[in-house]
Amino acid sequence: MKVWPSQVLSDVIVIEPEVFGDQRGYFSEAFQKERYQEAGIKVQFVQDNLSFSQKGVLRGLHYQYPHQQAKLVFVVHGEIFDVAVDIRDGSPTFGKWTSVVLSSENHRQLYIPKGFAHGFCVLSDTAVVIYKCDEYYFPEDDGGIIWSDPDLGIDWPLSSPILSAKDKGLPRLKEIPPSRLPSYLG
């Protein structure tokens, strides 16, 4: 298993599990607690989410507060452009983002710790995405940032995504009161 910090946000970790393939297909461990703890991912996952989307769908940017969620994101079919944004009030990287292409071909995973918003857009015809969470979903704690926030300047690989009604109405990061954002604990 290879592990490295993302390009911009060192708290966000890219994981490339070992894949064993032959003429039958391949085998890979999607998660192994001890190995991931050795890599610095020391959370207890309590919920797995599965998302199926078509090409051009953009989901996000989502977060939960105060019941924050760390996530381990991976693709079992297709390809996505995955994004994490630091939304921790007081963080030296507040408002900065990082991205990685995750696919069923490259087998990469993205670990997004608490304090970050998450979103992705589908690059392939369809995609099946799984993300493990270390906290349950609390609808009343749902938060989000508009995907096209000009202050973030995310370089999405599409200009007219397919969005949910909820995601179309999300605010810009600067419009969210600090009391509705996690704090940076340094």
Given the residues 36, 63, 65, 131, the one annotated as active site: 131
Taking 80 as the threshold, does the pLDDT of residue 114 lie above it? yes
Long-range contacts of 42-48 (CB under 8 A, 24+ apart): 43/70, 43/134, 44/134, 45/72, 45/132, 45/133, 45/134, 46/133, 46/134, 46/135, 46/136, 47/132, 47/133, 47/135, 47/136, 47/137, 48/130, 48/131, 48/132, 48/133
Of 33, 34, 65, the residue nearest 46 (C-alpha):
33
Given the residues 26, 36, 62, 137, the one annotated as active site: 62
* CATH top-level class of 2-178: mainly beta
Helix (H) or strand (E) holding 84: strand 79-86
Convert the pLDDT of each residue in 38-83 to its tens digit. 999 999 999 999 999 999 999 999 999 999 999 999 999 999 999 9
Examine the residue annotation and report whether 184 is marked as an active-site residue of this protein. Answer: no
Average model confidence (pLDDT) across the chain: 96
Examine the residue annotation and report whether 136 is marked as an active-site residue of this protein. Answer: no
Q: What is the pTM of this model?
A: 0.95
Convert the pLDDT of each residue in 25-46 to its tens digit. 989 989 999 999 999 999 999 9
Of 68, 57, 70, the residue nearest 128 (C-alpha):
57
Q: Where are the domains of the chain?
A: 2-178
